């Protein structure tokens, strides 16, 4: 069922007139000789009235590609076979093609041609016709298999069916039918099963076309028909399980069937190209069943992500929490030479931190101050700025650090408010002074009150 067979199918069904050039004498039926390659030994006669070949007339050898003298020119020779698109256009324009009687092989070839070119609706039409041609053999197989009961169906070789490659399905079915008439249950079942091999392929193809065409229910029925004949058909198992999982996410029985199908694929061929995907889908189908359906699984996964996130946050120290200091870190800070360049750099960090505060960039400000305080723990500006950044960010450590700043450097805290006001953050300055006045009620009451009443 390849493209070359489809090409032959199209030519047969189109029933076009002879491709002989105009004026060419008719070739009588049964003529075997070719004008450019006559049979050796005179075994093949040329049609009556055909001009003699030049080799016969002159005795001179003739090129195999040369036409005899006086032969009418051939049209269309030397051209490549039509493309798939060209062939489909020809088939589409063939009147009554879908309604014509066809052999299984012709219907299957047409269905495959449309299927591989994305014409799923048309593919279904022809593949269904192929299934109908195979139905008598299918019915025979199922009947013989039922009579055999638990007795395994032998292979076609063991049953000596005598089939040859390319033998038509109808002919193989006839062999199986003759065996059945003779009462050979096992032989009839074996020959019928072998005859149905191409029909199973077209059955899976039709199921795929149905699903791609939007008819999932019909696709499931088509996969089931294949599995009724061959329960271990890998492609049918995988296809049915995939459609079940995709379309029946809340049907627990269907999801269990999908899980079992994926497991069967793995058992049949653990090294196949789809084995990894089948394993992953089997696990997912099982999880969906245990969750009670796809909707509940999605909710459970969302809850699980929230729990894991909260656990991760709980295990992670807050960004403002003081990191544990090792002796090496303490020694490194204490032993760092206080050069003018270092002092200037620290002063610049404080100034930048204050600029960040005035612009509402509290996280950036905190980053600056945490680089200054280890080197200058008594720097009131740095303590006040770090405390206000933590307060503004609402960090758990804010109250503690703010309390230290207010107790040890309240003037620096007040001056920080002056700086915020100067840089245009009047709202921030007022909030800072109000908090300072509330937390340190004995500090500069008149001064703070005057600033707050502006």
Tokens of 415: 């001056």
* pLDDT tens-digit readout, 333-382: 666 667 887 888 899 999 999 999 999 999 999 999 888 888 888 899 99
Count of Cβ atoms closer than 10 Å to residue 174 Cβ: 15
167: burial class by Cβ within 10 Å (0-12, 13-18, 19+)? middle
Average pLDDT over residues 210-228: 95
Give the residue among 363, 361, 358, 401 at the shortest CA–CA distance from 382.
401
> What's the whole-number mean pLDDT along residues 56-64?
54
| C-alpha to C-alpha distance for 18 and 36, rounded to whole angstroms | 19
Sign of the CA dihedral with 14 first, then 19, 22, and 25 last: negative
Where is pLDDT greater, at 242 or 68? 242
Percentage of the chain modeled with pLDDT above 90: 57
How does residue 11 score in pLDDT terms, banded at 50, 70 and 90?
very low
Q: Which of 19-23, 165-169, 289-293 has the weakest average pLDDT?
A: 19-23
Whole-prediction pTM value? 0.55
Q: How far apart are CA 215 and CA 213, in angstroms?
A: 6
Identify the pLDDT of residue 395: 87
Q: To the nearest whole number, what is the mean pLDDT of the chain?
A: 82
Q: 88 vs 78, 98, 111, CA distance in Å? A: 21, 13, 11
Q: For residue 309, how many other CB atoms are within 10 A of its CB?
A: 10
pLDDT(129) > 70: yes
Residue 298: what pLDDT?
Answer: 87
Residues 281-338 pLDDT 10s: 999 999 999 999 999 888 888 777 777 665 655 555 544 445 555 556 555 666 666 7
- Write out the two tokens for 431: 């909030």
Residue 45: helix, strand or coil by DSSP?
Answer: coil
């Amino acid at each position: 069922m390849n493209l070359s067979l489809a090409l032959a199918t199209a030519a047969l069904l189109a029933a076009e007139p002879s491709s002989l050039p105009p004026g060419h004498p008719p070739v009588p039926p049964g003529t075997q000789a070719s004008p450019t390659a006559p049979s050796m030994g005179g075994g093949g006669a040329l049609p009556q009235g055909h001009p003699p070949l030049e080799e016969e007339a002159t005795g001179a050898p003739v090129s195999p590609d040369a036409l005899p003298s006086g032969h009418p020119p051939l049209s269309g020779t030397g051209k490549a076979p039509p493309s798939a698109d060209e062939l489909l256009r020809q088939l589409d324009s063939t009147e009554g093609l879908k309604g014509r009687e066809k052999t299984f092989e012709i219907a299957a070839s047409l269905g495959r041609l449309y299927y591989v070119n994305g014409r799923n609706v048309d593919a279904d039409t022809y593949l269904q016709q192929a299934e109908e041609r195979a139905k008598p053999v299918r019915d025979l197989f199922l009947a013989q298999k039922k009579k055999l009961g638990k007795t395994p169906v032998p292979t076609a070789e063991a049953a000596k069916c005598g089939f040859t490659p390319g033998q038509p399905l109808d002919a193989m079915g006839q062999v199986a039918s003759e065996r059945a008439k003779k009462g050979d249950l096992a032989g009839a079942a074996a020959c019928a099963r072998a005859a149905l091999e191409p029909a199973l392929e077209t059955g899976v193809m039709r199921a795929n076309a149905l699903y791609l065409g939007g008819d999932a229910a019909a696709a499931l029925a088509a996969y089931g028909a294949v599995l009724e004949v061959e329960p271990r058909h890998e492609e049918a198992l995988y296809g049915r399980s995939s459609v079940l999982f995709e379309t029946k996410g809340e049907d627990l029985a269907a999801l269990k069937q999908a899980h079992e199908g994926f497991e069967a694929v793995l058992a049949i061929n653990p090294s196949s190209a789809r084995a990894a995907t089948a394993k992953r889908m089997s696990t997912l189908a099982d999880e969906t069943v245990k969750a009670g359906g796809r909707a509940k699984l999605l909710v459970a996964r969302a809850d699980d992500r929230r729990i894991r996130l909260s656990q991760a946050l709980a295990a992670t120290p807050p960004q403002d929490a003081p990191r544990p200091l090792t002796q090496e870190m303490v020694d490194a800070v204490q032993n760092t030479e206080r050069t003018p360049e270092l002092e200037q750099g620290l002063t610049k960090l404080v100034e930048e931190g204050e600029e960040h505060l005035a612009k509402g960039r509290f996280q950036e400000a905190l980053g600056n101050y945490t680089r200054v305080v280890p080197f200058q723990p008594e720097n009131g500006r740095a303590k006040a700025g770090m405390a206000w950044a933590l307060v503004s960010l609402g960090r758990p450590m804010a109250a503690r650090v703010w309390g230290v700043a207010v107790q040890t450097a309240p003037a620096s805290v007040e001056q920080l408010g002056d700086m915020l006001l100067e840089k245009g953050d009047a709202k921030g300055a007022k909030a800072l002074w109000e908090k300072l006045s509330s937390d340190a009620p004995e500090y500069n009451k008149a001064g703070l009150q005057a600033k707050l009443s502006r």
